[in-house]
Amino acid sequence: MPGEIGVGMLGYAFMGKAHANGYRTLAYMTWPPPLVPRLVSIAGRNEDAVAEAANRYGFERAVTDWREIVSDPEVGLFDNSGPNNLHAEPTMAAAEAGKHVFCEKPLGRSADESYEMWQRIERSGVKHMTAFNYRFVPAVRLARQMLEAGELGEVLHFRGRYLQEWGTTDADVWRFNRDEAGSGALGDLGSHVVDLARYLVGEIASVSASTQTFAPGREVDDAFEAVVEFDGSALGTIEATRFAAGRKNALSWEINGTKGSLAFDLERLNELQHSDGTRGFRTILVSESDHPFWEWWWPHGHIIGWEHTFVHEIHHLLKAIAGDATVPPHGATFEDGYRAAEVCDAVLRSAGSGAREAVSYRS
Amino acid sequence: MPGEIGVGMLGYAFMGKAHANGYRTLAYMTWPPPLVPRLVSIAGRNEDAVAEAANRYGFERAVTDWREIVSDPEVGLFDNSGPNNLHAEPTMAAAEAGKHVFCEKPLGRSADESYEMWQRIERSGVKHMTAFNYRFVPAVRLARQMLEAGELGEVLHFRGRYLQEWGTTDADVWRFNRDEAGSGALGDLGSHVVDLARYLVGEIASVSASTQTFAPGREVDDAFEAVVEFDGSALGTIEATRFAAGRKNALSWEINGTKGSLAFDLERLNELQHSDGTRGFRTILVSESDHPFWEWWWPHGHIIGWEHTFVHEIHHLLKAIAGDATVPPHGATFEDGYRAAEVCDAVLRSAGSGAREAVSYRS
Amino acid sequence: MPGEIGVGMLGYAFMGKAHANGYRTLAYMTWPPPLVPRLVSIAGRNEDAVAEAANRYGFERAVTDWREIVSDPEVGLFDNSGPNNLHAEPTMAAAEAGKHVFCEKPLGRSADESYEMWQRIERSGVKHMTAFNYRFVPAVRLARQMLEAGELGEVLHFRGRYLQEWGTTDADVWRFNRDEAGSGALGDLGSHVVDLARYLVGEIASVSASTQTFAPGREVDDAFEAVVEFDGSALGTIEATRFAAGRKNALSWEINGTKGSLAFDLERLNELQHSDGTRGFRTILVSESDHPFWEWWWPHGHIIGWEHTFVHEIHHLLKAIAGDATVPPHGATFEDGYRAAEVCDAVLRSAGSGAREAVSYRS
Amino acid sequence: MPGEIGVGMLGYAFMGKAHANGYRTLAYMTWPPPLVPRLVSIAGRNEDAVAEAANRYGFERAVTDWREIVSDPEVGLFDNSGPNNLHAEPTMAAAEAGKHVFCEKPLGRSADESYEMWQRIERSGVKHMTAFNYRFVPAVRLARQMLEAGELGEVLHFRGRYLQEWGTTDADVWRFNRDEAGSGALGDLGSHVVDLARYLVGEIASVSASTQTFAPGREVDDAFEAVVEFDGSALGTIEATRFAAGRKNALSWEINGTKGSLAFDLERLNELQHSDGTRGFRTILVSESDHPFWEWWWPHGHIIGWEHTFVHEIHHLLKAIAGDATVPPHGATFEDGYRAAEVCDAVLRSAGSGAREAVSYRS
């Protein structure tokens, strides 16, 4: 029987719910789990709401100050599902208190903040992961496997878009506030595209970008468009907007290589389109027993949902924490979180300067 | 805080896993749940395997004789996820011991067996539900709502297919054995199509069918095709096969009404195609906040998986057990299980006789 | 330089326009054409309208009595694009006057009428073709080539549908009149499905069918649904309706074989879906230089239209007339037209008798 | 009966064939045509080949010097279907000899060359059109109509891609030679995207671009990617490549407006995707009797091919030549050809400078 790990979580909204479901589900779906998550403590500002969340998801304690989690000896893993302005301080504190850390994206609100997080947490010696959960979509992982196996040849193009439509809302959302969010569609959606570009193709060398804020008075970008040059000769575009009517959650990308192409759309996340370069695209319903993550699920054709990406992602982290030396580097570390932030910063720089901006990465 | 209900389950394979996940997930996803499921006991023939299953899914007890569940005073709901030949006796015994019952489809191996189950369980006074879980796909429920609201007008056609490809296997599967399974693709896949035809359109009046067994020596049908006439003037086809190469889990249907059409494919279960009769089909990504079941899940565009049909279905049953008089009749009762069996029997009769066979339903 | 053939055409409505375009286009697209069509004479009842049609399409003469075409020594090919009740007499007369004949589908209004046409025309010694033009869609032809090459293995299933929506019209169309049309959706749409079933899979042995007339007072069927058993063990369905809201011209079929599957939809006629049985369906954009008919058209990806089926079909006929002994039997002969009519008659018999009806073919 | 216009054509390869088919088809399909095209003369360097082309397409004369067309009194319309380096001189000579002119895209090999063409031809007083034929796809025209009617609200985004795969060829194609072609994917494919961006959204104010040449030794760009800012606040990307394996002729674009979105793919050119901003995208099969150009074709659902864009485009030009004052400005004039060239030049400038380049248009 595997050991236990105590989980302390900051935040109980959309992401808190998704992470909580991940912990609870992996305990029996990924059998036997590397470690059994014990939901110890959850923190939030509203006392009633956090108590209700604890009751709902099965946390033993509800607290209104995240420092109680940081000092809680029963917590071994600090899960930061809070808003962007609460990423840095609590996560660094938790790591320096010896907790492993799992933090929502974007890691910090800027490359500087992200770099500090990475550096301090790296020095603390704990395991760290940035919640770029789309690396854990089976179809995305299959794409990575095919790329690693050379099935696509050399990659020439990457085109990634993340299109949503809810930017028209009148609601006062923290994601529209520069201090809380850092940036708008760029950090929220674009960081996912950047991470997938890096995960599937490689490092981004330069960006040429424009941004736009459509809603009057909004502090952050509603959309950005960028041309990217990768290390090597590959060329591409990355884009995100909150103003694409009819696009609910349309993270899509296409990769063209010398031997074939791949295409993906998160609204049909169980499918991967593959062309071997001769006769058009094949729709792979990624659910065969030899497909990534599929040993845990159902007979082929019985598709899984968006939420399962967190089951896979947290399983990955727990395996690493459990000391499994064979864990391949699929999870996005805080270094990955930082590097994505460098690209996002370069997008803003380029939008401002009108120049192609080189991306340089601190080590 | 809602009360508890003790669950006793027979079977821990594919369906047992799916049901267990349903109980565990609904407890926090459908918040607050009508009743909190307590996983009391699980039964299976293999002592080690059932003990492992209990450990994995969180059942308090593992037993090798289902009668122990039937006599267990802490069990309030008997969940039959076993093979078809273990549907009738344990389920009837459980009901007559006062347990509510939830049984996998097909209900019995024939209309006669199904009828006896329905009659005895109806007399026992407990709540009963047949696991036609596809009534609980959000897109299917939305279709039902649109049909009830008259958006399609009068229904003229229903075409339903359930196509899989695994019939080519050499494995010795209980589903190929007549005594254990009753029938082949017909009861396994076709019963779902029949149930959806009844749920969405109405009662089937007659069938004209052919069946075929492609694999040498197999006892049951590998495929059937049938023309169906509904009460009223609607006409359609129902079909199922285990020999459709490339079709993983392709339960698809199309409805044409005087005012519009709907189409669905289980391999893209989060989508519903709708034409209002003028300008082609619209792809509804069924994930808006006002869509069926969606108050429990994620922001729109974050799709859910096949397994969640059981979350919705068991929630429905628990609501009825909890005494909620407002529960609409969406769950398939044992009468629905029986009626589907009458249609399946008529398919076999028609295949044998070469005649259009009227379907008559006992009351 | 190829020789000429004089064409005399009966009818100038939808089908006349499509055939006229075929003759004109093949003369330069299929270069060099087997014979150069010279548009000699066109017949229709309305003197002004037929004169306008002659002017428009370039016929040298317009006549109001088709017998003038039959007796016209400059006409070598009689093209019957008229309504169904004008198929038999003019076509037989033309053949017996030594003209090659090309007749729209359905050949006759019944198997009897079709048989008489076939027999008399066969005895006359001329070339004859029934206008089942969908054999000449490049994707359909590619499917046939793949089937002949054994890429699908043994065929187990064929499911063919032809769905249209215009049956709701109030207009007084000859297609709704039994004497002029013979039957409704069955002969008009269903005959195409039957012909493709025969062309791609093989001879139909029996049918179990129902028909329905939705529009009050209409003389012919608006829809039919049928289960078909093929010679051998394959099983399938054929269906057609004029009451499928949102379906404009949806002739679709799927074939499942022991080694793979194919699927097609006329609304996307340049595409063929192919699964080799492992990883889902590949969309073949049928436009590569080695694809059927593609040597005449454009670089790949530049799709062609519905009308080009007639270019291919008439080219085929002209090649046979020109005496090319290597023409493979792709064109539907009058025997094929007759055989399709036998299946259609069996559908009506079965709908009336409620019995599975064997199809027997006269020789 | 309409009058005649004599046509003289330069070039008989891919584009010559497409244009020739256009002239021949419109004469009876768009009935009555504004002017009846008489194919007078065709010019090409290879004497045998041009004679064969004349014979095939029905030109009265074949010449090896385009100057013979320019001086031919029977030619009223000069159609330049030749390679890019033969666009400027012959077209200007023809216009100055009083012929109306129709020239393939890109107009010139640079903005300068294009500007000179536009200026001199404008001064000559003849009608002029650049062959941006995709303005004449029915789905594109429908999109324009919807945009003009305000159905999309204010446009916020345009994303246009033109992906092909044939760049891997070893063949020595004039399109790879800088002097003959001017540029690579940019002028060949990208100019279409630029023109559609301008036609559907509006003038492009700036571009930030990168280009790449993948094939060693090739003189022109194989791919480019660009961010574009439109006059007003809309933001977008335009891209083209000849190295997208599996993409045959994938010109696709998406427009997001404040009230809805549209999407299009040339490989399915008969379809337009439309979201009104609430419930996902509807597939409009653009073939209804009230759809653009559809009065000339078939009953709905009978799709047309790529080649028909030229039928529509040439019809448009002939209508203008015939003096119809009601012709709306849908055809791309030489000013449009010049403006597209300014954007293409800015792409090259930006790729070289690494700066966002403003696009300024000479008047």
Do D260 and D175 share a structural domain?
A: yes
pLDDT for residue C304: 98
Asked if residue C327 has pLDDT above 80, the reply is no
Please tell me whether residues D130 and D152 are part of one structural domain.
Answer: no
Residues in A touching C288 (Cβ below 8 Å): 279
pLDDT surpassing 80 at residue D1: no
Lowest mean pLDDT among A172-181, A182-191, C78-87: A172-181
Of B32, B250, B308, which has the smallest distance from its Cβ to A305's Cβ?
Answer: B308
Among D residues 72-131, those touching chain C with beta carbons less than 8 Å apart: none
- Closest residue, chain B, to C210 (C-alpha): B227
Which residues of chain A lie closer than 8 angstroms to B308, CB-CB? 305
* Contact yes or no for B282 and D280 at CB 8 A: yes
Total Cβ atoms within 10 A of residue A167: 22
Looking from the CA of A181 toward its CB, the CA atoms found within 13 Å total: 20
- Chain B residues within 8 A of C246 when measuring between CB atoms: 256, 260-261, 275-278, 280-281
Of D280, D285, D288, the CB nearest to B284: D280
Complex prediction ipTM? 0.96
Q: Are residues C223 and C160 in the same domain?
A: yes
Q: Has residue B1 got a pLDDT over 80? A: no
Domain assignment present for A67 = yes
- Which is it for strands C100-103 and D271-275: parallel, antiparallel or unpaired? unpaired
- Does residue C44 register a pLDDT over 80? yes
Residue C350 counted as domain residue: yes
Check whether residue C215 and residue C125 sit in a common domain.
no
Question: What string of DSSP letters covers D4-59?
Answer: EEEEEEE--SHHHHHHHHHHHHHHHHSSSPSSEEEEEEEE-S-HHHHHHHHHHHT-
Confidence (pLDDT) at A329: 82
Do residues B273 and B197 lie in contact, with contact meaning Cβ atoms separated by under 8 Å? no
Interchain contact D173–C (C-beta under 8 A): no
Domain enclosing residue A64, as ranges = 3-134
Q: Is the dihedral of CA C327, C329, C330, C336 positive or negative?
A: positive
- Say if residue D130 is in the same domain as residue D145: no
**What pLDDT, on the 0 to 100 scale, is given for residue D282?**
97
pLDDT score of C219 more than 80:
yes
In a domain, C182, yes or no: yes
Q: Is residue B363 part of a domain?
A: no
pLDDT of residue A172: 85
Q: Which of D134, D151, D171 is the last residue of a domain?
A: D134
pLDDT on residue A2: 83
Q: Clarify whether residues A183 and A198 are in a common domain.
A: yes
With beta carbons under 8 A apart, name residues in chain D contacting C252.
Answer: none
Q: Among A274-278, C93-97, C199-203, whose mean pLDDT is lowest?
A: A274-278
**Which pLDDT does position D202 carry in this prediction?**
98
Band of residue A40 on the pLDDT scale cut at 50, 70, 90: very high
The Cα of A254 is separated from the nearest Cα of chain C by a number of Å equal to 17
User: Does the distance separating the beta carbons of B306 and A303 come in below 8 Å?
Assistant: yes
For D181-207, what is the mean pLDDT?
97
Phi/psi for C234 (5° steps) reads -70, 150
Q: How confident is the model at residue B88 (pLDDT cuts 50, 70, 90)?
A: very high
Instruction: Give the model confidence (pLDDT) of A210-225 as tens digits.
Output: 999 999 999 999 999 9
- Could you tell me what percent of chain C has a pLDDT over 70? 100
In chain B, the residue whose alpha carbon lies closest to the alpha carbon of A36 is B56
B241 touches chain C (CB under 8 A): yes
The predicted pLDDT at position B328 comes to 80
Is residue D266 domain-shared with residue D150, that is, in the same domain?
yes
Residue C346 has what pLDDT? 98
The answer on A198 and A318 residing in a single domain is yes
Domain boundary residue among C101, C134, C167?
C134
Per-residue pLDDT band at C277 (split at 50, 70, 90): confident
Q: Which amino acid is at D94?
A: A
pLDDT for res D329? 82
Select the residue from C307, C308, C310 to test the D interface by mutation, using most D Cβ atoms within 10 A. Answer: C307
The CATH code of the domain that includes C101 is 3.40.50.720
User: Could you give the maximum distance between any two Cα atoms of chain A, in Å?
Assistant: 60
Q: Predicted confidence band at B326 (pLDDT cuts at 50, 70, 90)?
A: confident
pLDDT tier at B329 (50, 70, 90 boundaries)?
Answer: confident
Interchain pair D277, A244: CB under 8 A: no
- At C178 the pLDDT is 94
Same domain, D121 and D190: no
**pLDDT at residue B2, rounded to an integer:** 83
Subunits next to D (3 or more Cβ pairs <8 Å) are A, B, C
Whether residue A270 is contained in a domain is answered as yes
B83 in the same domain as B209 = no
Residues B15 and B120 in one domain: yes
In a domain, C288, yes or no: yes
State whether A281 and C280 contact (CB < 8 Å).
Answer: no
Q: According to the model, what pLDDT value does residue B70 have?
A: 98
**Count of CB pairs separated by less than 8 Å, A with B:** 94
pLDDT tens track for D129-163? 999 999 999 999 999 999 999 999 999 999 999 99
Strands A100-103 and A128-130: parallel
Question: What integer is the mean pLDDT of D244-256?
Answer: 98
pLDDT category, A178, cuts 50, 70, 90?
very high
**D321 CB within 8 Å of a chain B CB:** no
Q: Is the pLDDT of residue B200 over 90?
A: yes
Angle at A27 (CA atoms; ends A25, A28), nearest 5 degrees? 80
Of D220, D205, D231, give the one whose Cα is nearest residue D356.
D205
Specify whether A11 is located in the same domain as A40: yes
Q: Does the residue C318 lie in any domain?
A: yes
Residue B279: pLDDT above 90?
no
Number of domains in chain B: 2
C168 contacts on D by Cβ (under 8 Å): none
**pLDDT band (50, 70, 90) for residue B128:** very high
- Number of helices and strands (H, E) in chain D? 11, 15
Instruction: Decide if A362 is inside a domain.
Output: no
Interface residue C210 vs chain B (CB under 8 A): yes
pLDDT value at residue A325: 78
Asked if residue C168 has pLDDT above 90, the reply is: yes
- Dist. CA A295–CA A251, nearest whole Å: 26
Task: Of A175-179, B86-90, B134-138, C352-356, give the lowest mean pLDDT range.
Answer: A175-179
What is the 3-state secondary structure of chain B? Answer: CCCEEEEEEECCCHHHHHHHHHHHHHHHHCCCCCCEEEEEEEECCCHHHHHHHHHHHCCCEEECCHHHHHCCCCCCEEEECCCHHHCHHHHHHHHHCCCEEEECCCCCCCHHHHHHHHHHHHHHCCCEEECCHHHHCHHHHHHHHHHHCCCCCCEEEEEEEEECCHHHCCCCCHHHCHHHHCCCHHHHHHHHHHHHHHHHCCCEEEEEEEEECCCCCCCCCCEEEEEEEECCCCEEEEEEECCCCCCCCEEEEEEEECCCEEEEEHHHCCEEEEECCCCCCEEEECCCCCCCCHHHCCCCCCCCCCCHHHHHHHHHHHHHHCCCCCCCCCCECHHHHHHHHHHHHHHHHHHHHCECEECCCCC
- Chain B partners of A300 at a C-beta cutoff of 8 Å? 248-249
Q: Which of A88, A109, A134 is the last residue of a domain?
A: A134
Here the CATH number for the domain that contains residue B214 is 3.30.360.10
pTM comes to 0.97
Residue B324 confidence (pLDDT) above 90? no
Return the pLDDT at B327: 77
**E strand map for chain D:** 4-10, 36-43, 61-63, 77-80, 100-103, 128-130, 155-163, 204-212, 223-230, 235-241, 250-257, 261-265, 271-275, 282-285, 357-358
Q: How confident is the model at residue C278 (pLDDT cuts 50, 70, 90)?
A: confident
Query: What end-to-end distance do the CA atoms of chain C give, in Å?
Result: 40
Read off the pLDDT band of C62 (50, 70, 90).
very high
